[in-house]
């Protein structure tokens, strides 16, 4: 996606689509995303009626229900401003699947137009804002987990690491099998808990063995899954959404 997508000049205003998991479990990550954008001179608008992007129902095969949820989002972004999403998973749903979900429906053209303005947060910071970061933190070894949706659907395996590389005191360490899934996969973790548990065990061990002092990710589903697993087995390794990590080190 990033190789062929046309990126606009940095705008004066953007919409933020906050995602369900940020709203319910990691609100500070949403606020830190806003702070990062505002520091670039961008006014951030947050439509208060936003809810879910519709992905859980869509990936479970309930397309009528997904359309009902997604339909409620389409009128929330009336101005032609970018829609920034701090999640590759939700960003991928809106950017890549809305057109298919609404194909043949009265909302098809509107869904296509909304989809064309969706940017994942790290993508937007790198390719649209061309952000420069002044690292004020202590030296630290960091590992990054990129979600399957960001990596495979959105083609954004490099944008998170590119941001971390702009932090002068941070060493990005490579985990073994970095491209492997953490086992969350939305409803996959509910439908296949034993498989999911084995996958996150492998992911947690790989992060620890990489020698990282901290790990970051740009998707809160992965963050909740990996950090929860590590905490359950009393690992000292802790995780953070990349928006919060960047803001904490640079503010």
Q: pLDDT digits over 90-146, tens only? A: 999 999 999 999 999 999 999 999 999 999 999 999 999 999 999 999 999 999 999
| pLDDT for the residue numbered 111 | 98
Domain end residue (candidates: 92, 127, 162) = 127
Domain count, the chain: 2
Would 6 be classed as within a structural domain? no
117 lies in the same domain as 188: no
Give the domain extent around 98.
13-127
| pLDDT for the residue numbered 94 | 98
Domain end residue (candidates: 106, 127, 148) = 127
For 247, the token pair is 């803001």
120 lies in the same domain as 180: no
| pLDDT for the residue numbered 63 | 97
Domain end residue (candidates: 66, 98, 127) = 127
Q: Which residues of the chain have pLDDT under 50?
A: 1-3
């Amino acid at each position: 996606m990033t190789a062929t997508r046309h990126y606009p000049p940095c705008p004066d205003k953007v919409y933020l689509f906050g995602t369900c998991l940020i709203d319910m479990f990691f609100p500070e990550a949403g606020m830190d995303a806003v702070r990062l954008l505002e520091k670039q001179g961008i006014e951030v608008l947050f439509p208060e009626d936003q809810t879910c992007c519709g992905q859980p129902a869509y990936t479970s095969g309930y397309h009528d229900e997904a359309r009902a949820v997604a339909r409620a989002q389409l009128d929330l972004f009336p101005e032609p401003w970018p829609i920034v999403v701090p999640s590759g998973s939700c960003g991928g749903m809106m950017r890549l699947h809305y057109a298919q979900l609404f194909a043949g429906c009265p909302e098809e053209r509107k869904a296509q137009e909304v989809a064309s303005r969706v940017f994942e947060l790290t993508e937007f910071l790198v390719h649209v804002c061309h952000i420069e970061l002044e690292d004020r933190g202590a030296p630290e070894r960091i590992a990054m987990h990129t979600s399957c949706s960001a990596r495979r659907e959105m083609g954004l395996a490099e944008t998170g690491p590119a941001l971390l590389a702009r932090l002068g005191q941070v060493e990005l360490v490579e985990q073994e099998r970095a491209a492997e899934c953490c086992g969350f996969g939305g409803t996959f973790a509910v439908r296949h808990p034993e498989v999911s548990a084995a996958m996150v065990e492998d992911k947690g061990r790989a992060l620890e063995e990489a020698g990282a002092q901290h790990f970051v990710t740009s998707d809160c589903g992965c963050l909740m899954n990996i950090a929860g697993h590590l905490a359950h087995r009393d690992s000292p390794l802790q995780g953070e959404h990349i928006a919060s990590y960047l803001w904490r080190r640079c503010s």
